[in-house]
Structure 1
Amino acid sequence: MNIFAIGDLHLSFANPKPMDIFGGNWTDHPEKIRQHWEAMVSPDDLVLIPGDISWAMSLDEARLDLDFIAALPGRKLMIRGNHDYWWSTVSKVRKALDPSIQVLQNDSITIGDITFAATRGWDCPGSYSFDEHDRQVYEREIGRLKLSLDHAMKSGAKRLWVMLHYPPTNEKHQETGFLDVLRQYPVEKVVYGHLHGADGHKGAFAGVHDGIEYHLVACDYLDFAPLKLT
């Protein structure tokens, strides 16, 4: 089993929302994703999708987008992003998904010898857009990350990876509660998305920091091809 990651698919088959307003590279981006995915991913592989899956506003509206993902090769593990308004309760989402798709929310899952923990995350203090109204959500998400990591450790995790939607720090790569929590556990890798365009990408927190390997996997950053992690 190989493991890949690609986030921010931003699908909208039911009510098309062209993404090329964010740059010409987004033109026909679902087809680019499909072609790369089918060329790279085998049925026995795993693909991590850290949020912003669909622009849909309801689970019914997201059906075509979820069917698109289900038809792609491999097993998929998803978390919620800030634009996933279709994601109601996790129980409803799980009931609606194809067997090839699983989701994480306040828990963890072991696949092969790797246990995956996750939370959505949020803008961090020091971010250009952060204000005091964000602090409550930021602190709640730190708590949810710890909850998921504790769940992973209680399950007997031998190897531990984390999925976030937001980056774990701000544009200046300053210390945050997310980084502090991640260092308290034997985390090997962290994948996240959310950042788009040249301005967003240049602030990516990537490489090895305090023994943890970080990857930005927003699909436009990856030229719409899943990143092979193992």
Structure 2
Amino acid sequence: MGLFAIGDLHFSFAAPKPMDIFGEQWKEHDKRIIENWKNTVGPEDTVLIPGDISWGMRLADAAADLDVIDGLPGRKVLLPGNHDYWWKSSSRLAGQYPRMTFLKNDTTRWENWFLCGARGWTCPNETAFTAEDEKIYRRELIRLRLSLDCAMRQGAENILVMLHFPPVNENHGPSGFTELFGQYPVREVVYGHLHGESSHSMALEGEREGIRYHLTSSDYLEFRPKRIF
């Protein structure tokens, strides 16, 4: 059984929102994701989706996108991004889509790994870090700690963290997120949010201080799920 990841699907099947206004690489990106997913992921695999899943504003709007994801091969573990306004109640989502896991303030397992996460937020020392950013950033640190503590109560020895936002600023300086990683047995970190060549070039990728980092924005992956394990 493999573990894959792909974020920033930006689906909009109910009310089509062409993404190629952000670049030619986004032309019919939804069809490419679906085709690549079917050619890459098997029914026994698991796919992590770290946020910006649907452009829908309400669950009724996002349902068409979630239905498509639900019908794709593999188990799915989803995390909210900054554009997922439709995500209000994880318990309601779990009831409507029992084959998918909606991660928020808790944990779930893949083999001997515990999967934890939070949406995250812009990190301090960004060029435009406001007082409101500080408030949200602190709240997301609390949510991540809740998730990590949930895993530890179940005996976690290996943790993979999902975030939507990068866990560091553009200079890859330490943050509250990286500090938390060091307090728990975090071995892998998956995140998204970054789009375009200039943002991709600033991504934290590969191993640092014993933790492996993966940027999994769909355009960075050329719209193909990335195998983590």
What's the CA shift for 1:137? 0.7
Structure 2 distance, partners of 1:225, 1:183, is 30
What's the CA shift for 1:100? 2.6
- Give SS of 2:30's match: helix
What aligned pairs does 1:207-218 form with structure 2 within 5 A after superposition?
A: 207-218=206-217
Structure 1 distance, partners of 2:127, 2:59, is 32
- Give SS of 1:60's match: helix
What's the CA shift for 1:111? 2.4
Match of 1:109 in 2: 108
**Are residues 1:182 and 2:161 paired?**
no
What's the CA shift for 1:84? 0.1
| Partner AA of 2:121 in structure 1 | W
> Deviation digits for residues 8-36 of structure 1, max 9, x if unmatched?
00000111111101110100001100111
Taking only the aligned residue pairs, the percentage that are identical comes to 50
Contact 1:3 1:228 in 2 (8 A): yes
TM-score by length of 2: 0.98
Match of 1:142 in 2: 141
- Give SS of 1:190's match: strand
What aligned pairs does 1:87-166 form with structure 2 within 5 A after superposition?
A: 87-97=87-97, 99-166=98-165
Structure 2 distance, partners of 1:73, 1:186, is 30
Structure 2 distance, partners of 1:176, 1:111, is 27
What's the CA shift for 1:96? 1.8
Structure 2 distance, partners of 1:157, 1:176, is 23
Match of 2:85 in 1: 85
Contact 1:74 1:100 in 2 (8 A): no
Structure 2 distance, partners of 1:129, 1:207, is 26
Structure 2 distance, partners of 1:96, 1:126, is 40
| Partner AA of 1:148 in structure 2 | S
Match of 2:64 in 1: 64
- Structure 1 residues 16 and 129: CA distance shift in structure 2, 3 A: farther
| Partner AA of 1:91 in structure 2 | S
The answer for unaligned runs of 5 or more in structure 1 is none
Match of 2:194 in 1: 195
Structure 1 distance, partners of 2:147, 2:77, is 15
- Greater CA drift, 120-129 or 189-198: 120-129
Structure 1 distance, partners of 2:92, 2:127, is 35
Q: How many residues align?
A: 229
- Give SS of 2:42's match: coil
- Structure 1 residues 129 and 93: CA distance shift in structure 2, 3 A: farther
Structure 1 distance, partners of 2:135, 2:61, is 30
TM-score by length of 1: 0.97
Contact 1:20 1:26 in 2 (8 A): yes
Runs of 4+ residues deviating >2 angstroms: none
**Are residues 1:75 and 2:69 paired?**
no
What's the CA shift for 1:65? 0.1
Match of 1:15 in 2: 15
